[in-house]
Amino acid sequence: MGRPDRSAGRRRARPTGRRPGNPDTRESVLAAARAAFGERGFDGATIRGIATAAGVDPALVHHYFGSKDKLFLAAVEAPVDPDELLPTVLAGGRDNLGANAVRMLLTVWDGPARPAGLALIRSAVGNEWTAKLLREFLVARVVRRVVGSLGYPDEERDARGSLVASQMIGLVMGRYVLRVEPLASASHESLVAAIGPTVQRYLTGEVELPRR
């Protein structure tokens, strides 16, 4: 008579179901994050709330993504991290913000991030949920941080930011999506010279602000 196979019992005793580290868990967190950021915006969403919606411990969210900023970038599938780019825009001082912002945008879109950026833009055009996430990314994580460096009251900051966003989104659509000439083939510096002053006026100049 042979020895009993204890390994079979151990296999039967092993718990089943989702375990920490399962790829499905990460996707559940991302799905909950997209819903939270889309409904409540970046500022209103919390790691704890996202973890609760995904049915996981908040520590697991931190394990996967590190911070709310990194989770947001993953949820949006952002082609770039603004934290790596904005210091260059802000370093030139108040009077160079417009030119630096246009130069930064062109550098990003004419680089390796273009395919992912175009996919995100095209998805946002046809999908309301993606549009919400993209808007939150542009407004909360990029434009508001640039305009916020100028010390305006919240209402003026948001109004100026919306004008800046309209100019930057128009540049992306005209140059990279619709490919309107000569915009599509113009050099970076010619576009900085042409569009930078308009962005600068929206940031620091006399301008009739849009009101609710």
The predicted model scores a pTM of 0.76
pLDDT value for 43: 85
The number of beta carbons lying within 10 Å of the beta carbon of residue 83 is: 12
Tell me the CA distances in angstroms from 156 to 6, 41, 169, 199, 202, one per residue in order. 72, 20, 20, 15, 11
28-78 pLDDT, tens digit per residue, is: 999 999 999 888 888 889 999 999 999 999 999 999 999 998 998 898 888
SS3 label, residue 19: coil
53 φ/ψ angles, rounded to the nearest 5 degrees: -65, -35
Q: Give the range of the structural domain holding residue 68, as residue numbers without chain letter.
A: 18-76
Q: Are residues 171 and 113 in the same domain?
A: yes
Please state, in angstroms and rounded to a whole number, the distance separating the CA atoms of residues 65 and 73.
10
CATH of the domain at 141: 1.10.357.10
Same domain (yes/no): 36, 58:
yes
Token pair of 176 as six digits: 């990279």
Q: Are residues 63 and 95 in the same domain?
A: no
Structure token digits, residue 205: 């100049």
**Structure token digits, residue 157:** 């900051």
Tokens standing for residue 57: 């411990």
pLDDT tens profile 93-120? 999 999 999 999 999 999 998 998 898 8
The rounded distance, in Å, linking the Cα atoms of 166 and 58 is 36
Please indicate, yes or no, whether residues 96 and 200 belong to a single structural domain of this protein: yes
Residue with tokens 């308009």: 198
Task: Say whether both 103 and 139 belong to one domain.
Answer: yes
C-alpha–C-alpha distance, residues 169 and 171, integer Å: 5
Q: In the chain, how many domains are there?
A: 2
> Do both 38 and 143 map to the same domain?
no
Q: Residue 22: pLDDT band by 50, 70, 90 thresholds?
A: low
pLDDT tier at 11, thresholds 50, 70, 90: very low
Q: Under the phi-then-psi rule, with left for phi > 0, alpha for psi from -120 to 50, and beta for the rest, what region is 151?
A: left
